[in-house]
Amino acid sequence: MRIAVLASGHGSNLQALIEAIAAGRLAATVSVLVTDRPEAHAVVRARRAAIPVEILPAGHDRVHDGALLMAMLQRYDIALVCLAGFMRMLAGNVVAAYHGRMMNIHPALLPQFPGLHAIRQALAAAVPETGVTVHFVDEGMDTGPVILQQRVPILPGDTEASLTDRIHAVEHRLYPQAVQWFAEHRLTLEDRTVRIAPHTTA
Ligand code: GAR
């Protein structure tokens, strides 16, 4: 299954997907990395893994960007789009074209703490736990149907750095898992509910 990863930053979730594929835990190929930040470390990781990199230039409007992105995804014949720290909202026509075929990972238990700096938001709210969500993307900001969530406790003395490390460790397990379910055709979207079919050994 051909996937595109969209990332703006460090690319640790891209790396987790690459490693899950290499380890045989994920039946997919990262066919392209799309980024809006050519200097992002995600680009280094993609090049190291011989994954083509496409730059989505900044400075145009969302509709123009959407048309460019759609052309890229079609050119690479992408079955699933994985947002992994991609910090730009996508045009509605791209989201609609990839309805049920575009996932995002977010470092909180959505609908808590959507948007930017979710880990900082959780610490500031002094809640006892936060978590990780993998969800299908809809037109809202971090509002799409939830595929998978896991809680992460906030420990006494946690800093943004220490909590980020534990959240990332969970993200790196959850994202490949959700993508593998998609690859196995086990995910169905009924309105806003995601159903996960049991594993079969057929
Ligand atoms: C991840 O923690 C991801 O959940 C978050 O950005 C980070 C990217 O890390 N995404 C969002 O906050 C989206 N709203 P990475 O570049 O190391 O994969």
**pLDDT value for 59:** 67
Ligand 1 centroid–CA 202 distance in Å is: 35
Which of 8, 12, 152 to mutate for ligand 1's pocket (most ligand atoms within 8 Å of CB)?
Answer: 12
Compute how many other C-beta atoms are within 10 angstroms of the C-beta atom of residue 101. 16
3-state secondary structure of 115: coil
Segments making up each domain of the chain, as ranges: 2-196
- Per residue in 56-110, pLDDT (tens digit) is 987 668 778 889 999 999 999 999 999 999 999 899 999 999 999 999 999 999 9
Q: Pick from 116, 155, 112: which is nearest to 132 by CA? A: 112
The CATH number of 2-196 is 3.40.50.170
Residue nearest atom 7 of ligand 1, based on CA coordinates: 85
Ligand 1 centroid–CA 194 distance in Å is: 22
- Per residue in 4-35, pLDDT (tens digit) is 999 999 999 999 999 999 999 999 999 999 99
**pLDDT value for 141:** 93
- Per residue in 143-186, pLDDT (tens digit) is 999 999 999 999 999 999 999 999 999 999 999 999 999 999 99
Strand partners, 131: 151
Q: Pick from 43, 160, 176: which is nearest to 107 by CA? A: 160
Q: Interior CA angle at 174 toward 169 and 177, to 5°?
A: 135
